[in-house]
């Protein structure tokens, strides 16, 4: 007989844990099913390990490229094996403290391992992860169900790709087969999105020769100036970027790969020791048997939900990466966590909460880093919203000049009706920290005047927001040191 649970959660990442914690607070008996490693993408092969290695690479680069005259460049030796080992230790420690320990502290939570597949709208079967002879080793039922199975790297249908060894972002994992333990002498990266650019700069700074092959350019879908500025930085660091490129075929073996690339100016063969595919994310929905649960998917395979994160089945919700960009959602750890909490409160407290993705700050941890919140200028124009934009180079920010970090800009987009800020886009030192001020301001519908009137600490990079707002009606190159 199937075991009954108040809430059955498929997945064990940030979305799942936020839902489990809140549901437990509300008295629910919860089961959480994981087919890979407890903690999901972020802790095991995403945010945590990538930022650890990106910072290590930054230290190596800063040592050999000091920004100050009078400082002698120094070479920092890279023991890649030891670097990976400390990353793995960090991942395992974080997983133990933030996931396993938290799960152990919830009295009414049961962790289940295996591949889940729906048998009917309330029942799943678990396949034995060890691969025993039994097709299904356990049946589990839930009065309410949350689909939080996340996403995986998209593998494009390129001829020959299935015949060569390649990497994905799973290379960052501490314990699975797709992990990388040796630094490649050269690496070709397919894709120009945030994962591609972060890992490209990381590998380059640690010593790999890097070539990026992007179908359009860097950071398509963001403000164009962000990708353009980052491309200039990459060129100065020796990272080759092939934009407007199409890969016709891939060949090679364990010793190297060759990519036949076509561009408007002609074709060429790109050779590298390793190939990294970073062309997007695919929702983990195809093996769940959602047709047997009666759950409707979107055209691109994401679970369809309403603003309360409920599917077309009233007792089944979905949240996190698996719903894609519906209701202006983002594939990001804190977004999934917020949605998991909303699901639990709607399911067990009848809270009637709706997910609002209007203000979600996002960051890309390159150097210089990028951070954005709100709409791009193209999105504003597409909505026919009366608006105006102003872009201010960081050279006008005193802190940036003082520490020789003037690469970058801040771009504001504001309504011409009431000067309410609609979007803020930053590339430059400390951008991921600065963007929270902009996000909080936008949450409360701040205007350009609100940014200008706020007294900022001098000298800080956050003054870029005040100066960027002032740029709409004055020449900011003629401001005094404290932007007044």
Instruction: Mark whether 148 and 288 lie in a shared domain.
Output: yes
242-294: pLDDT as tens digits: 999 999 999 998 789 999 999 998 999 999 999 999 999 999 999 999 999 99
Instruction: Select from 349, 382, 400 the last residue of a domain.
Output: 349
State how far the Cα of 317 lies from the Cα of 309, in Å rounded to an integer. 6
Q: Which pLDDT belongs to residue 271?
A: 97
Residues of the chain with pLDDT under 50: 1, 133
Q: Which pLDDT belongs to residue 127?
A: 82
Instruction: Mark whether 49 and 27 lie in a shared domain.
Output: yes
Q: Which pLDDT belongs to residue 78?
A: 97
Chain-centre distance for alpha carbon 460: 26
Q: What strand order describes the sheet that includes 421-427?
A: 362-364, 370-374, 421-427, 409-415, 387-393
A 10 A CB-CB count for 206 gives: 18
Instruction: Mark whether 272 and 297 lie in a shared domain.
Output: no
Instruction: Mark whether 8 and 144 lie in a shared domain.
Output: yes
Q: Which pLDDT belongs to residue 1?
A: 47
Element (H, E) at 393: strand 387-393
Choose among 421, 416, 417: nearest CA to 448.
421
State how far the Cα of 406 lies from the Cα of 400, in Å rounded to an integer. 5
Instruction: Mark whether 275 and 286 lie in a shared domain.
Output: no
Q: Is residue 219 part of a domain?
A: yes
Q: What is the DSSP string of 433-453?
A: HHHHHHHHHHHTT-BHHHHHH
Element (H, E) at 378: helix 377-382
Instruction: Mark whether 123 and 58 lie in a shared domain.
Output: yes
Instruction: Mark whether 26 and 135 lie in a shared domain.
Output: yes
Quick check: pTM over 0.85?
Answer: yes
Q: Which pLDDT belongs to residue 334?
A: 95
381-391: pLDDT as tens digits: 999 999 999 99
Pairing mode, if any, of strands 30-34 and 3-10? parallel
């Amino acid at each position: 007989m199937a075991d009954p649970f108040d809430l059955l959660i498929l997945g064990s990442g940030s979305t799942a844990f936020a839902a489990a914690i809140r549901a437990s607070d509300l008295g629910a008996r919860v089961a959480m099913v994981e087919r890979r490693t407890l903690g999901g993408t972020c802790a095991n092969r995403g945010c945590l390990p990538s930022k650890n290695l990106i910072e290590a690479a930054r230290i190596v680069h800063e040592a050999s490229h000091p920004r100050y005259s009078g400082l002698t460049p120094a070479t920092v030796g890279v023991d890649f094996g030891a670097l990976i080992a400390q990353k793995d230790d960090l991942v395992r420690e974080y997983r133990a403290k933030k996931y396993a320990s938290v799960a152990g502290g919830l009295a009414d939570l049961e962790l289940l391992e295996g591949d889940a597949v729906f048998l009917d709208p309330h029942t799943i079967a678990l396949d034995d992860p060890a691969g025993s002879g039994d097709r299904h080793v356990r049946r589990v039922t839930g009065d309410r169900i949350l689909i939080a199975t996340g996403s995986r790297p998209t593998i494009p249908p390129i001829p020959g790709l299935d015949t060569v060894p390649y990497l994905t972002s799973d290379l960052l994992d501490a314990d699975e087969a797709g992990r990388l333990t040796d630094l490649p002498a050269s690496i070709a990266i397919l894709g120009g999105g945030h994962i591609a650019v972060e890992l490209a700069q990381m590998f380059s700074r640690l010593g790999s020769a890097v070539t990026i092959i992007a179908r359009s350019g860097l950071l398509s879908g963001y403000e164009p100036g962000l990708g353009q500025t980052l491309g200039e930085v990459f060129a100065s660091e020796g990272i080759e970027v092939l934009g407007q490129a199409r890969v016709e075929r891939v060949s090679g073996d364990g010793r190297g790969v060759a990519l036949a690339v076509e561009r408007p100016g002609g074709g060429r063969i790109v050779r590298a020791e390793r190939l990294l595919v970073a062309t997007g994310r695919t929702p983990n929905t195809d093996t769940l048997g959602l047709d047997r649960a009666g759950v409707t998917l979107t055209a691109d395979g994401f679970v369809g939900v309403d603003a309360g994160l409920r599917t077309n089945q009233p007792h089944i919700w979905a949240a996190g990466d698996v719903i894609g960009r519906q209701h202006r959602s983002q594939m990001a750890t804190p977004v999934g966590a917020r949605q998991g909490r909303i699901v639990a409160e709607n399911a067990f407290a009848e809270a009637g909460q709706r997910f609002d993705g209007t203000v979600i700050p996002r960051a890309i941890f390159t150097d210089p880093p990028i951070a954005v919140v709100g709409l791009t200028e193209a999105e504003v124009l597409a909505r026919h919203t009366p608006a105006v934009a102003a872009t201010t180079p960081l050279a006008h920010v005193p802190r940036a000049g003082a520490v020789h970090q003037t690469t970058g800009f801040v771009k504001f987009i504001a309504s011409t009706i009431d000067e309410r800020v609609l979007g803020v886009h930053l590339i430059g030192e400390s951008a991921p920290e600065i963007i929270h001020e902009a996000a909080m301001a936008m949450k409360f519908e701040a205007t350009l005047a609100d940014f200008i009137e706020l007294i900022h600490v001098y000298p800080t990079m956050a003054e870029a927001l005040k100066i960027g707002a002032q740029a709409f009606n004055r020449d900011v190159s003629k401001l005094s040191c404290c932007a007044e």
